Amino acid sequence: MDKMERLSNPQVTIETIKRYDFAFQKKFGQNFLIDEHVLNKIIAASGVTKKDVVLEIGPGFGTMTQYLAEAAKEVIAVEIDKALIPILQETLQDYDNITLMNEDILKVDIRALVEEKNGGRPIKVVANLPYYITTPIIMGLFEGHVPLDNITVMVQKEVAQRMQAGPGTKDYGALSLAVQFYACPYIVANVPPNCFIPRPSVGSAVIRLSRWDDPPVQVQDEKFMFALIRASFNQRRKTLQNSLVNGGIGVEKEQVMSALKQMNLPPAVRGEALTLEQFAKLSDLLG
């Protein structure tokens, strides 16, 4: 494909919008990336090679899909908006290594897809994610134990900061701990609103989540640990003890007091002070 025809050229994207009389859907959180520099950064950060099968979530007009198809062995592009399918069929017609699916990613059996397309070997996920469902998508991939090498995604800047945050900071919370249990987060680049059509009202960031081979902590009951983490941050101003007792996870005050004592933590400690390792230990003591 001629470089000038690429959708990363804003003029080409604008012409495509006009030609198809395409209407952006707020409900799908559509903001299409039109910056070649950022696209190249995403591809480089994901480390996609000709050996890789890539899952792209929300290809939009296919701007990044074109780049991925040139870098990867195969691309599976999952798009929820059926109005985009005829556009994608046109913009991606020069590539024979793309499978296009008109589906809701939250309803797709991704493990089965990976089995079918890549023999169960780890895939790479690349996406410019709709901000309103960023967390369910990422957590669905991790909690579903989909074979993954890494996830390189464009997300709201604040969300990227939360994923990377450490204990004792204002951004640290349940999302930080969940992401860091499964992967090593690295913010690749901050991306201003003018890199998109239409412009989002918030800043964005590209973050790469490299999947751990083994989780950095061992815990007896992963599900209980995450329930405990969520309860710890539900009311940030409360002490950990109060949050857990009132968190609907079935623990008594005496149990919590005893566990904190065993861990040499003060009775008035708050959830945001605990590391992932400490949450794992607390979970094992209370589980």
- Domain-located, residue 216: no
User: Are 36 and 171 part of one and the same domain?
Assistant: yes
- Evaluate whether 215 touches 187 at the Cβ level (below 8 Å): no
> Which residues is 54 bridged to in the sheet?
75, 124
In this predicted structure, the answer to whether residue 188 has a pLDDT above a threshold of 50 is yes
In this predicted structure, the answer to whether residue 35 has a pLDDT above a threshold of 60 is yes
Q: What is the spatial distance between Cα 119 and Cα 224, in angstroms, rounded to a whole number?
A: 32
User: Are 37 and 96 part of one and the same domain?
Assistant: yes
Give the burial string for 236-254 (b: 16+ CB within 10 Å, else e): eebbbbebbbebebebeee
Average pLDDT over residues 240-263: 95
User: Are 184 and 65 part of one and the same domain?
Assistant: yes
Angle of helix 222-234 versus helix 276-286 axis, rounded to 10: 110
Average pLDDT over residues 182-204: 94
- Domain-located, residue 217: no
User: Are 231 and 194 part of one and the same domain?
Assistant: no
Domain tally for the chain? 2
User: Are 258 and 117 part of one and the same domain?
Assistant: no
Average predicted confidence (pLDDT) for the chain: 93
Query: For position 173, what pLDDT does the model report?
Result: 95
Query: For position 172, what pLDDT does the model report?
Result: 96
Tell how strand 148-156 and strand 204-211 pair up. antiparallel
User: Are 111 and 235 part of one and the same domain?
Assistant: no
Selection from 177, 181, 124 nearest residue 147 by Cα? 124
Domain that holds residue 114: 3-211
pTM of the model: 0.92
User: Are 171 and 260 part of one and the same domain?
Assistant: no
Query: For position 1, what pLDDT does the model report?
Result: 43
Last residue of a domain, one of 211, 244, 276: 211
User: Are 107 and 235 part of one and the same domain?
Assistant: no
Please count the residues of the chain. Answer: 287
User: Are 165 and 240 part of one and the same domain?
Assistant: no
Selection from 185, 134, 129 nearest residue 154 by Cα? 129
Last residue of a domain, one of 158, 178, 211: 211
Q: What is the spatial distance between Cα 52 and Cα 159, in angstroms, rounded to a whole number?
A: 27
User: Are 156 and 63 part of one and the same domain?
Assistant: yes
User: Are 85 and 179 part of one and the same domain?
Assistant: yes
- Residues 6 or more apart whose CB falls under 8 angstroms from that of 27 comprise none
- Of the pLDDT bands very low, low, confident and very high (cuts 50, 70, 90), residue 5 is low
Domain with residue 183: its CATH number is: 3.40.50.150
Q: What is the spatial distance between Cα 219 and Cα 26, in angstroms, rounded to a whole number?
A: 40
Domain with residue 248: its CATH number is: 1.10.8.100
- Of the pLDDT bands very low, low, confident and very high (cuts 50, 70, 90), residue 7 is confident
